[in-house]
Amino acid sequence: MVGKNEVLEAIRSRRSIRKFKSQQIGRDELDAVLEAGTFAPTGGGAQSPVIVAVQKPDVVEELVKMNAKVLGSGGNPYYGAPTIVVVLASPKKWATYVEDGSCVLENMMLAAYSLGLGSCWINRERQMFDSPEGKALLKGWGIGEDFVGVGAIALGYPDCALPAAAERKDGYIIKI
């Protein structure tokens, strides 16, 4: 039987956080989360994704507005997180770009949890960075137009209790 294991426990207990303190996370914490993303597995070891960490309030607000527009909402799709980490990848560079970017996002969410930070996977980055506004941001960041948004994480200090885990569904695992 497998004994107590910190990694498995983190996987079991990490939850999406949807309410954040306004306090910005520290540089060391951010660097640790970003580094964890760079150690995610990628197809052929190509390291095809690009990670963009956004903490400048005006750029965070721009991303909030772009995502809300795609969502058709006036709210904050990043739940007030002070840091947004966007993961982009190019379908022209590697066929597994979505899978690669998804692994990067998961590594960063687990790392965040291990450091006492909250995170939540956020969608609609593909539509955001397909727009003229998104293409202009990519250009300003020095990223080619062939990159697409895979996803993002809202990142910060939780301002809520850790949500309880949902029961695992029947039939989730099939052993043959």
Average pLDDT on 122-149 reads 96
Mean pLDDT within 78-104 = 96
* Residues 25-156, CATH architecture: 3-Layer(aba) Sandwich (3.40)
Q: Mean pLDDT across the stretch 2-12?
A: 89
Strand partners, 50: 88
- Give pTM, 2 decimals: 0.95
What is the band of 93 on the pLDDT scale with cuts at 50, 70, 90?
confident
- Could you tell me the CA-to-CA distances from 176 to 74, 173 in Å, in that order? 48, 10
Give the span between the Cα atoms of 21 and 91, in whole angstroms: 36
Distance CA 150, CA 132 (A): 17
- The rounded percent of the chain whose pLDDT value lies above 90 is 95
Mean pLDDT for all residues in the chain: 96
